[in-house]
Amino acid sequence: MRDDEVMPAVSVIRVARRDDPVSAVTEDDAARRAAAYPTVRLGGPIFGHAEELPDGRWQVTDLDEYTPQGARDGLAERLRTWRMKVTDPALGAELDAVDALLDWEKIDEATVADRRYRIIRTDTFARFGPDGPEPPRPTDPDPLPPGTTTPLRATPLVVAPDEPTGLAHALLKTEVLTAHYPRAGVRPDMYDDSVQATRTHPGAVILPTRYAVAECVGGRWQPDSLAVDTPQAARDLLAVNLRYLVPRLDELTAGQTRAYARAADDLDATRADEVTVLGRRFRVTRIEVLLRFGPNGPEGPRPSDHDPDDPPEVHAARLRSEGLLSDEP
């Protein structure tokens, strides 16, 4: 065994047989795409927070941040919203104490009224084939018209690694559970933490697919947007980019600006997943999201994760010391 390989931890994947027509079509679609896009590549993490439920499952209520501190700030906001509704003095004091702690320290777990909250970390993956990253599938939910920003995920996700899953998700788990960053592609501490996670968190849940825009630059595909809930939301990001951001940043001629605007109009009209304009090639791509689990619950941030921001009160204190923020209310 090479020094960049690890012996995978044991994890039981339970498969539930689903005989309804929709599941059959979805499973067939997944199998076809796995053959057409056989390579699975590990991307950057997405962070959020989750609450442990009395039955041992976890409720994921936020998963939209690209740094752990962003997720901590999101948890603090959730607890402050709860605090506004609380009339019990003891519970109010408990919430105030946790909120103050989040304002000053980088903590990744908190318990309030016997309810445990944790900052969680997910891995992202994309399938690649000979023509690049996998685009949305015909069976992917995509109900919203162009220009609609309403998220598709209306309710929190309740997850557990031992719950049965469909065949497509079970097969995907077998591909990605032992995946880690390549030694040559990241810093040594990131590589070590990635390998360690496959041992300490051998269970996992496949979360709803996300979608993002990628651009082919010099024959290589690179991310061009954040991950969003639906293919159309990704198209909307691309359309805004073509209409407004590219002309502003690249100082285009009037003719080039019109070409980008026409490409955005065509994207709205056709709901296509790929567009080429003035030699630039963009594609809406599928992003799979994996939440790893260990014996004590879902994986939290790793020491090597990019986490440059201070908690809000630490940041404010530094600005005051530099004369950039007044003490006056």
Asked whether the beta carbons of 27 and 167 are under 8 A apart, the reply is yes
Mean pLDDT score across all residues of the chain:
90
pLDDT band for position 329 (cuts 50, 70, 90): low
pLDDT tens digits, one per residue of 5-64: 444 444 667 766 676 777 788 888 988 999 999 999 999 999 999 999 999 999 998 899
Helix axes 68-83, 89-104, angle to 10 degrees: 160
Distance of alpha carbon 37 from alpha carbon 172, whole angstroms: 12
Other residues' Cβ atoms within 10 Å of the Cβ of residue 63: 24
pLDDT at 106: 97
pLDDT at 328: 62
**What is residue 245's DSSP assignment?**
I
pLDDT band for position 65 (cuts 50, 70, 90): very high
Distance of alpha carbon 117 from alpha carbon 98, whole angstroms: 11
Residue with tokens 């697919």: 209
pLDDT at 10: 46
Asked whether the beta carbons of 211 and 287 are under 8 A apart, the reply is yes
Task: Domain ranges for the chain, please list them.
Answer: 42-303
**What is residue 214's DSSP assignment?**
E
Residue with tokens 């950039």: 324
- Provide the terminal-to-terminal Cα distance of the chain, rounded to the nearest Å: 62
Side-chain half-sphere exposure of 122, counting CA atoms within 13 A: 27
State mean pLDDT over 81-108.
95
Between the alpha carbon of residue 244 and those of residues 117, 237, 249, the distances in Å are 40, 11, 9
* Cβ density class 66-76: b for 16+ within 10 Å, e for less: ebbbbbbbbbb
pLDDT tens digits, one per residue of 120-150: 999 999 999 999 999 999 999 998 889 876 6
pLDDT at 4: 42
* Six-digit token string for 9: 């931890």
pLDDT tens digits, one per residue of 176-231: 999 999 999 899 999 999 999 999 999 999 999 999 999 999 999 999 999 999 99
Other residues' Cβ atoms within 10 Å of the Cβ of residue 133: 21
Amino acid at 143: P
pLDDT at 11: 62
Q: What are phi and psi of 80, to 5 degrees?
A: -65, -40
* Six-digit token string for 183: 């030694």
pLDDT tens digits, one per residue of 231-280: 999 999 999 999 998 888 778 899 999 999 999 999 999 999 999 999 99
Burial of 232 (0-12, 13-18, 19+ CB in 10 A): buried
